[in-house]
A and B are shown apart, each in its own frame.
Chain A
Amino acid sequence: MSERRKTPPGDAGVRVRNVQAGDLEAVIAIDAEVTRLRKPDYWAEIHRRYGSGRRQQRFFLVAEAGDGIAGYVIGEVRDWEFGSPRCGWVFAISVRPGARLAGVGSRLLEAICAGFRGLGVTKVRTLLARDNHLVLSFFRSQGMMAAPFIPLELDLGQA
């Protein structure tokens, strides 16, 4: 029997707000559905650092659509990282597969960019694997272009 998928809600039905402790299970479930890995400890730590208390430069937002959480975005303003003047960094964005193609990701990105702008930031950056075609295409569709940085890595081998 095939799983009955909910019709993706229209863009108008999406509400973006700050994460609440009660949203964490839904966030963990979205991440697990996308990455096939449940990471409750990781998410509890992310919530502690980005989603609770007064975190003026940090954002952990969720999108409500239909009857639940459809996606989330996390980021922060960082000063002089990699020699760059103050800019916003998006380090996680995800939309539940059944809620895609309804503008949820765009609304989340718009909301976090509005938050960055409110802090006087005029540039937003992100970093992702070059074989992550889906999310790369999403960011490109939002107008993002290659940044003037090249990520590098070094294999350290065994200690």
Chain B
Amino acid sequence: MKLQKNTLYALYGILDSASRPDEQMPTGEIAKTYGVSPHHLAKVLRALVRAGLVESVRGVGGGYRFTGNARRLTLLEVIELFERVGAGDHGVPARRRGRRAEVERALGTVFAEIDEMSRATLRSISIATMLKLIERQRPA
């Protein structure tokens, strides 16, 4: 599964700000940490503000602060602000007949199964769980 750039930037922003919930993170600092365009990141962060997951604090020392509930907010919810997961339509038009329809129907069943697993996995992992996973995988 490959995420779109906007989605990935949103996850960077959410995970970074949620790891330091008492601090305002300037866009430039987050962009520098992850090696991404500050302009592109700023656009994504504004979308997260509109979704109520971060707030923008203006002025000196300002930046973005996480306002969501890290134990409740899931990866799926963040990702689906930007793209659908398992959005593929695996159905076969009713008018289609013959061998092609049979093959497509069977393939659709398999791909729908993969989509369901992807959604279930992303729905089961909260931002707090992700922060723990990052911590656990940090090289000693």
B40 at the A interface (CB under 8 A): no
B136 at the A interface (CB under 8 A): yes
Say yes or no: B116 contacts A141, CB within 8 Å: no
Stretch at the interface among B11-19, B44-52, B94-102, B118-126: B118-126
Main secondary structure of the interface of A (DSSP, over half): helix
Residues on the A chain within 8 Å of B71, using CB? 141
What range describes how many residues of A lie at the interface?
Answer: 10 to 19
Residues on the B chain within 8 Å of A133, using CB? 123-124
Say yes or no: B121 contacts A146, CB within 8 Å: yes
Say yes or no: B116 contacts A130, CB within 8 Å: yes
Say yes or no: B74 contacts A136, CB within 8 Å: no
- Kindly report which residue of chain A lies nearest to residue B130, judged by CB atoms: A140
Tell me the count of chain B residues lying within 8 A, CB to CB, of chain A: 15
| B75 CB to nearest chain A CB (Å) | 10
Say yes or no: A137 contacts B120, CB within 8 Å: no
Tally of contacts, chain A with chain B, CB under 8 A: 29
Say yes or no: B74 contacts A137, CB within 8 Å: yes
A143 at the B interface (CB under 8 A): yes
- Chain B 58-80, CB within 8 Å of chain A: the 1/0 string? 00000000000001001000000
Say yes or no: B132 contacts A136, CB within 8 Å: no
A81 at the B interface (CB under 8 A): no
- Chain A 117-137, CB within 8 Å of chain B: the 1/0 string? 000000000000011010011
Residues on the B chain within 8 Å of A140, using CB? 124-126, 129
Residue among B121, B125, B129, B133 with most chain A CB within 10 A: B129
5 contacts between A and B (CB under 8 A): A130-B116, A136-B124, A137-B123, A137-B126, A141-B132
Residue numbers of A with Cβ under 8 A of B are 130-131, 133, 136-137, 139-141, 143, 146
What are the 3 closest A-B residue pairs judged by CB atoms, nearest first? A130-B120, A136-B124, A141-B129
